[in-house]
């Protein structure tokens, strides 16, 4: 059976450090837009850590939720793209084909998670910052939509490697950049189609929820909300 890639994020571990955000920038050639463009809400953080305050001083609580493309199985961004630039792959990913994108931005409007980012200008890397660019990932030009791909370049590289070595992929062998860097090990990536995988086990937890699941998008990221001291159960 084809792999069905998914993730589990344990919000009881996540402390909002944003290592995932920077790791993603570095891995996926995301350009910095600069102060002026950031002020126009055009910064491209494929994964972001949403921060919500609750309550008033002194009873204040803070919630952190890393939000990235949920690779929805019923993705609202897919039917609306007129050129099939947004499409569903056989491994359950929402693929974004930069070459087909003509920039109608309908997908970005349709996405309830606001995880799609648009290149309002051609990306700029002031020399020699461009030497850091990852050769395994395209650089997107102006007018093209981009978003988290679950580091599909890493998935493909490992699949090719495993095929060359005539073996199955091991659970945990593929780690997107965010998962790899997370200091609290809050993020787990794996094959939701394999019931024995760590991500499947976490998805079956009674704590597991989906972000905006009620919209019927069937997202593949399972969130395990923050626990409390007395009510904790075996994760």
Partner 1 sequence: MERRDFLKISAVAGATAALEGCGNPDHQLIRFVPEEDLIPGIATWKPSICTLCPAGCGLLVRVMAGEAEVVRNGQLGLLKMGLAKKLEGNPAHPINQGKLCPRGQAGLQVTYHPDRIKGPLVRTGRRGSGQFREVGWDEATKQLVQKLSELKASKQEGGLAFVTAPLRGQRKTIIDTFVASFKGLTSIEFAFFDDSVIRAANAASFGHALPPTVDIGTSNYVISFGADFLGTWNSPVAQSLGFGHMRKGRPGQRGKFVQFEQRISQTGASADEWIPVEPGAEGMLALSLAHVIIAENKQLATAAGHAGSLIEGWSLGLPDYAPEKVAAQVGVKPETIARIAREAAAQDPAVALIGDAAVAHTNGLFNALAVNALSALLGSVGKPGGILFASGSSAKPPAASLQSWASEVSSGATAVDVLLLYNANPVFAAPAEWGVQRALEKVPFIASFGSFIDETSALADLILPDHSPLESWLEDTPVSGSAKTVVSVAPPAMNPLHNTRAMADVLLDAAHQLGGDFAKTLPWKTYEEAIQASFAALYKEKGSKTAKDADEFWKKAQEQGGWWSTEPSQVAAVISAGTAVKNSAPQFSGDSSQYPYHFLPFASQLLYDGSLAHLPWMQEVPDPLSTAMWGTWVEINPRTAEKLMIQQGDLVEVVSPNGKLRAPALVSPGIAPDVIAMPVGQGHQNFTRYATGRGANPISILAPANVEGTGSLAWAATRVKLSRVGRGKLILFGGSLSESSPELKHR
Partner 2 sequence: MTAKTPEQITNDLLRPLSGISARYVFWAALLAGIAVAALCAFLYQVYSGLGVSGLRSPVFWGFYITNFVFWIGLSHAGTLISAILRLANATWRRPVTRCAEVITVFALSIGATFPIIHLGRPWLAFFLFPYPSERGLWPNIRSPLLWDFFAINTYLISSVTFLLLPMVPDFALVRDRAAGWKKKIYSALALGWTGTPKQWHRLETAMHIMAIAVIPVAVSVHSIVSWDFAMAPVPMWHSTIFAPYFVAGAIFSGIAALILAMALLRKLLHLEEYLLPIHFENLGKLLLVMSLLWFYFVFAERLTTWYGNEPSEMAVFWVTQHGSYAPLFWAMVSCNFLIPFPLLAIKKLRTITGTAIASFTVVIGMWLERFLIIVPSLSHKYLPYRWGTYRPTWVEITITAGTFCTMVLLYMIFSKIVPVISVWELKAGRHEEPHALRLARQPDQVEAD
- Interaction site with partner 2 (CB under 8 A): 37, 40-42, 48, 50-52, 67, 76, 79-84, 100-106, 108-110, 112-114, 117-122, 141-145, 212, 215, 217
| Residues in touch with partner 1 (CB under 8 A) | 10, 12-19, 21-23, 25-27, 32-35, 38-39, 41, 43, 45, 48-58, 60-64, 122, 126-135, 141, 177, 180-186, 227-229, 232, 234-235
Q: Are 171 and 190 in contact (CB under 8 A)?
A: yes
Assign 6 to helix, strand or coil. strand
CA angle 105, 102, 73 (to 5 degrees): 55
Q: Which is closer to partner 1, CB of 80 or CB of 162? A: 162
CA distance 86 to 106: 10
- The three-point CA angle 223-227-228 to 5° equals 165
From partner 1, partner 2, none, interface partner of 57 (C-beta below 5 to 8 A by class): partner 1
State the nearest-atom distance from the C-beta of 231 to partner 2, in Å: 26
From partner 1, partner 2, none, interface partner of 7 (C-beta below 5 to 8 A by class): none
Picked from partner 2, partner 1, none, the partner binding residue 61 (CB below 5 to 8 A depending on kind) is: partner 1
The owner of tokens 């909300």 is: 225
227-230 contacts, C-beta under 8 A, 24 or more apart: 227/12
């Amino acid at each position: 059976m084809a792999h069905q890639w998914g993730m589990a994020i344990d919000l009881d571990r996540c402390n909002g450090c944003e290592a995932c955000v920077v790791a993603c920038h570095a891995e996926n050639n995301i350009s910095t837009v600069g102060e002026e463009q950031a002020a126009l809400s055009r910064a491209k953080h494929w994964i972001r850590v949403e921060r919500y305050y609750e309550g008033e001083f002194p009873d204040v609580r803070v919630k952190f939720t890393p939000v990235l493309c949920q690779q929805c199985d019923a993705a609202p961004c897919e039917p609306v793209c007129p050129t099939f630039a947004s499409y569903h792959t056989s491994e359950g990913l929402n693929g974004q084909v930069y070459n087909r994108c003509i920039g109608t931005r309908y997908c970005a409007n349709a996405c309830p998670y606001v995880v799609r980012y648009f290149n309002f200008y051609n990306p700029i890397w002031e020399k020699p910052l461009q030497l850091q660019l990852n050769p395994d990932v395209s650089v997107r030009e102006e007018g093209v939509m981009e978003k988290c791909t679950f580091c599909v370049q890493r998935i493909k590289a490992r699949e090719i490697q495993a095929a060359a070595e005539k073996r199955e992929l091991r659970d945990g062998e593929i780690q997107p950049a965010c998962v790899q860097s997370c200091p609290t090990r809050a993020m787990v990536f794996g094959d939701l189609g394999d019931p024995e995988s760590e991500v499947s086990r976490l998805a079956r937890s009674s704590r597991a929820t989906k972000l905006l699941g009620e919209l019927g998008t069937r997202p593949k990221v399972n969130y395990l909300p923050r626990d409390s001291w007395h009510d904790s159960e075996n994760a």
